[in-house]
Amino acid sequence: MTNQTPPQIPACTWNRPIGLGWDKPYTVRYASNIDDGPWHGMPLGGFGAGCIGRSSRGDFNLWHIDGGEHTFQNIPACQFSVFESIGESAQAYALSTQAPQDGSLKEWKWYPASGSRREQDITGTYHALYPRSWFVYENIFQAQLTCEQFSPVWANNYQETSYPVAIFLWTAHNPTNAPITLSIMLTWQNMVGWFTNALKSPEVQIRDDGSPVYEYQPLLGESQGNYNLIVQNDQHFGCFLSRSGGDTPVAEGDGSWCIATLKHPQVEVFHHTHWQPGGTGEDVWQSFAANGSLLNVQDATPASKNTQLGAAIAIRFTLQPGQTLEIPFSLAWDFPVTEFAAGINYYRRYTDFFGRSGQHAWAIASTALQQYQNWRSQIQSWQQPILERTDLPAWFKMALFNELYDLTSGGTLWSAASELDPIGQFAVLECLDYRWYESLDVRLYGSFALLMLFPELEKSVMRAFARAIPQSDDHQRVIGYYYTIGADTTTAVRKVAGATPHDLGAPNEHVWEKTNYTCYQDCNLWKDLGSDFVLQVYRDFLLTGAEDVQFLADCWPAIVDTLNYLKTFDQDGDGIPENSGAPDQTFDDWRLQGVSAYCGGLWLAALEAAIAISKILSEKNLGDLAVQKSIYETWLAQSRLIYEEKLWNGQYYRLDSESSSDVVMADQLCGQFYARLLGLPDIVASDRALSALKTVYEACFLKFYDGQFGAANGVRPDGSPENPQATHPLEVWTGINFGLAAFLVQMEMPNEALNLTQAVVEQIYHNGLQFRTPEAITPAGTFRASTYLRAMAIWAIYLVMS
């Protein structure tokens, strides 16, 4: 026990009074989309290890333990509780403001929620700055109590960042003139076996928005054979939660949990290994509420059918006036297998460091108790230079770090190392509704965070695309868009050789091997994917030091294949591929016809990037690429003239060359942004780029609901809709807005960039969308596609600012 200063919480967190709800949170635009409600908190857990989430009301409610699958449900037995006695008075609370809805644990007393933002009504404040979050409890206990939560995630760390573990670091301080006795209890339900799909080959359906979906049925509550036992060593004490499994190989859902804490000479440790979460809760609460103790039950009897099983540990201590004590708890889980389609199993990255038996949760938890101070220091050292920047507003720093939540909770996969992939393979879902991995058109924007912080993982993703481009899959499947418009032919081939795939597959098939899962559109016909691939390859080479020439060499054959394939859509031979009149690009509900500003600009920039790559490889004697380079130079010279001739209207670039639309497309010059970012020649004259960008800012942002929401994807120059019933043009896409803001900074319009970014950030973080940032919001207060990859494009703003 030492006299310590209170925990230092950064000034730029997202914060909210504990338990305070939202008057009008955003709701889903389409009933088929997931809407968990606003009670999302920062996720805990390493990349690809599975993660959990604890909301600002204190409940553990997000369970992404099964790779790629989403379970959102409060499990009340998973909880911290605090007992406090001072003089003759005593009180105890379970620290969630949300009591169970099923009538269980009715003996427990639940923490009071904040009634408003007025100081006297606040019972505490939740803070989050990924990967750290804090609960500061106020006005209920006499002691000053703070719980800091984090997992060992920091930039350029390819080991601990994969660990399935969370630290809960409690700081208790006695500000009174009398001794205070406190007890902190962590209860946890044995959920081994719960998180795997009961439907091993779920049937894929086409839902009302034309996208594919399948049913996920986790085995929640099936606890037969689960057991809990005490584990300890000289320094640590814990409860280990597992299941009797015999000698069968470890399957998805098999494994263990562990809750643990440090031993300390001035604290008492209590435990209970066999209480009933489905009952009244009195088996732990009666003794805990009386004096902060537990009954020290040690019973490793496995659970029988239709019963639940909980474990608990409690730490009791007395603080003298002015004293402070820091108490760490760790929570670890070890579920080493991710299963895609039945029988297709991958081990997770952390198993490279802890083994593959599924019985290492105690080893992980005790490692955390040994290392947590070093881990926290590493996180602070990574974040501090950014937090200290006075040119960045606090709200921007808050969103910059908090948008990284998706690298943990975006259904993230990170496989064990192999000879081909020395640090494993990595993937993040496009979103929870569109449940397929690393959509290439989306990661054109959203991958900046991964590139800047974990560049080797970024390159592993691009290598997976390079391997997939020459592959083919002739299977015919229904195309949702064709189906919804009543087309005569509703099917198409899944993957054409040479076409860049849209995505790296879905968790119900075989990620990395079976690509192009999405079937809303025929992605073989998209006009942006090939360009997106080339630009991201060159970007990843340049922005990781421009030294990994082997990475370029590995990707070069795929670059040639995909540019040749994309050129086949140049129907009139003028050098530039045309859009088909169908939604054949990232705005996949928005028809473009002929040469388009968006796809045409990306094509020009991609040709420039391919020429630059060919020069590098030739200089390194990695091939005679003169012929290929000459071809690209010819296409580029042709295309550049056509692009200007057909699209420039004197103020901005037309949407396309054949629709006669006067819409100002917000992202019309994404290709120009990328060209400048990569030090390539401008694809359009600088004065024209600036004119177009100013037009976008005025029409799509300032004149669209007075700039309250961000920039709409496409409106007329006066800010009015071309078609009031349109979908994508009138949505504000979070990631597109962040990409547009990066372009504004690049073009020396930093104030406009921050105005635009702030509008979007405030809509997300003021209206219950935190830690589930959607693809799209609307002025009607609706959203679409939560937990979206593209929003990590906020790191592109930071990149160009730096």
pLDDT digits over 441-500, tens only?
999 999 999 999 999 999 999 999 999 999 999 999 989 888 888 888 889 999 999 999
The residue count for the chain: 802
The proportion of the chain whose per-residue pLDDT surpasses 70, expressed as a percent, equals 99
What is the C-alpha separation between 447 and 537, in angstroms, rounded? 12
Side chain identity at 219, as an amino acid letter? L
What is the C-alpha separation between 557 and 552, in angstroms, rounded? 9
pLDDT(2) > 60: no
DSSP, collapsed to helix, strand or coil, labels residue 104 as: coil
pLDDT(212) > 90: no
pLDDT(318) > 90: yes
Q: Contact, 579 vs 656, CB < 8 A?
A: yes
Q: What confidence category does residue 7 fall into, taking pLDDT thresholds of 50, 70 and 90? A: confident
What is the C-alpha separation between 168 and 624, in angstroms, rounded? 57
Identify the CA nearest to 352 among candidates 150, 158, 154.
158
Q: What is the mean pLDDT of residues 415-431?
A: 98
DSSP, collapsed to helix, strand or coil, labels residue 28 as: strand
What is the C-alpha separation between 435 and 518, in angstroms, rounded? 9
pLDDT digits over 390-410, tens only?
999 999 999 999 999 999 999
**How confident is the prediction for the chain on average, in pLDDT?**
96
pLDDT digits over 139-189, tens only?
999 999 999 999 999 999 999 999 999 999 999 999 999 999 999 999 999
The predicted pLDDT at position 512 comes to: 98
Side chain identity at 87, as an amino acid letter? G
More confident of the two residues 287 and 211: 287
pLDDT digits over 332-391, tens only?
999 999 999 999 999 999 999 999 999 999 999 999 999 999 999 999 999 999 999 999
pLDDT(706) > 60: yes
Burial of 138 by CB count in 10 Å (0-12 exposed, 13-18 middle, 19+ buried)?
Answer: middle
Q: What is the pairing mode between strands 79-86 and 89-94?
A: antiparallel
Which phi and psi angles does 528 have, rounded to 5°?
A: -115, -20
pLDDT digits over 244-264, tens only?
977 789 999 999 999 999 999
The predicted pLDDT at position 403 comes to: 98
Q: Is the pTM of this model over 0.95?
A: yes
Both tokens assigned to 108:
């427990």
pLDDT(711) > 90: yes
pLDDT digits over 665-676, tens only?
999 999 999 999
Both tokens assigned to 710:
């961000």
pLDDT(678) > 60: yes
Sheet containing 124-129, strands listed edge to edge, beginning at the edge strand earlier in sequence = 14-17, 124-129, 132-137, 144-150, 165-173, 324-334, 256-262, 236-243, 226-232
pLDDT(4) > 70: no
Q: Please state, as a whole number, how many other Cβ atoms lie within 10 Å of the Cβ of residue 110.
A: 21
What is the C-alpha separation between 343 and 336, in angstroms, rounded? 15
pLDDT(227) > 70: yes
DSSP label at 343?
Answer: T
Assign 3-class secondary structure to 258-283. Answer: EEEEECCCCCEEEEEEEECCCCCCHH
Q: What is the mean pLDDT of residues 727-741?
A: 97
pLDDT(712) > 90: yes
pLDDT(1) > 70: no
Q: What confidence category does residue 648 fall into, taking pLDDT thresholds of 50, 70 and 90? A: very high
What is the C-alpha separation between 15 and 24, in angstroms, rounded? 18
The CA–CA distances, whole Å, from 649 to 138, 197, 224, 604, 643 equal 60, 54, 70, 19, 11
DSSP, collapsed to helix, strand or coil, labels residue 402 as: helix
Provide Rg for the chain, Cα atoms: 27
Q: Contact, 149 vs 168, CB < 8 A?
A: yes
Helix (H) or strand (E) holding 85: strand 79-86
pLDDT(210) > 90: no
Both tokens assigned to 588:
């996949």
Residue linked to tokens 């449900």: 73
pLDDT digits over 736-762, tens only?
999 999 999 999 999 999 999 999 999
What is the C-alpha separation between 650 and 692, in angstroms, rounded? 9
Contacts of 785 (CB under 8 A, 6+ apart): 33, 430, 431, 432, 433, 434, 774, 775, 776
What is the C-alpha separation between 526 and 579, in angstroms, rounded? 8
Both tokens assigned to 177:
């003139």
pLDDT(6) > 70: no
Contacts of 552 (CB under 8 A, 6+ apart): 537, 538, 541, 613, 616, 617
pLDDT digits over 524-563, tens only?
999 999 999 999 999 999 999 999 999 999 999 999 999 9
